[in-house]
Amino acid sequence: MDDLFARLRPRTVLAEGAVWLPGFALPEAETLHKAITQVSAVTPFRHFRTRMGQMSAAMTSCGACGWTADPSGYRYSRTDPQTGQPWPDMPDALRHLARRAAAEAGYEAFDPASCLINRYAPGAGMGLHQDRDEEYPQAPVVSVSLGVPARFSFGGLSRSDPKRIIELMDGDVVVWGGASRFAWHGVSPIRETFHPQTGAMRYNLTFRAINAALFRP
The minimum distance between CB 1 and ligand MD3, in angstroms, equals 26
φ/ψ of 100, rounded to 5, equals -65, -40
Helix extents (H) in 56-196: 92-104
The minimum distance between CB 170 and ligand MD3, in angstroms, equals 13
Name the CA radius of gyration of the chain, rounded.
16
CA nearest 134: which of 205, 75, 69? 75
The minimum distance between CB 70 and Fe ion, in angstroms, equals 18
Cα gap 163→156, rounded to integer Å: 8
The minimum distance between CB 128 and ligand MD3, in angstroms, equals 10
Q: Which of 43, 114, 143, 198 binds ligand MD3 (CB under 6 A)?
A: 143
Nearer to ligand MD3 among residue 6 and residue 148 (C-beta): 148
Strand, helix or coil for residue 58? strand
CA nearest 17: which of 194, 178, 152, 196? 178
The minimum distance between CB 129 and Fe ion, in angstroms, equals 6
Instruction: Report the phi/psi class of residue 144: left, alpha or beta, with left for phi > 0 and alpha for psi in -120 to 50.
Output: beta
> Contacts with ligand MD3 in 82-141 (CB under 6 A)?
116, 118, 126, 131, 141
Residue 116 contact, options Fe ion, ligand MD3, none, Cβ 5-8 Å cut-off depending on partner type: ligand MD3
Contact flag: residue 206 with ligand MD3 (CB under 6 A): yes
Per the CB < 8 A criterion, the answer to whether 101 and 154 are in contact is no
- Number of residues counted as binding Fe ion (CB under 5 A): 1
DSSP H or E run through 6: helix 3-8
Q: Which stretch binds Fe ion (CB under 5 A): 56-64, 114-122, 126-134, 148-156?
A: 126-134
Per the CB < 8 A criterion, the answer to whether 122 and 191 are in contact is yes
Contact flag: residue 180 with ligand MD3 (CB under 6 A): yes
Q: Which stretch binds Fe ion (CB under 5 A): 11-19, 125-133, 146-154, 168-176?
A: 125-133
One-letter identity of residue 191:
R
Strand, helix or coil for residue 22? coil
- Number of residues counted as binding ligand MD3 (CB under 6 A): 17
Residues forming the site for Fe ion (CB under 5 A): 131
Residues forming the site for ligand MD3 (CB under 6 A): 116, 118, 126, 131, 141, 143, 150, 154, 174, 176, 180-181, 183, 185, 187, 204, 206
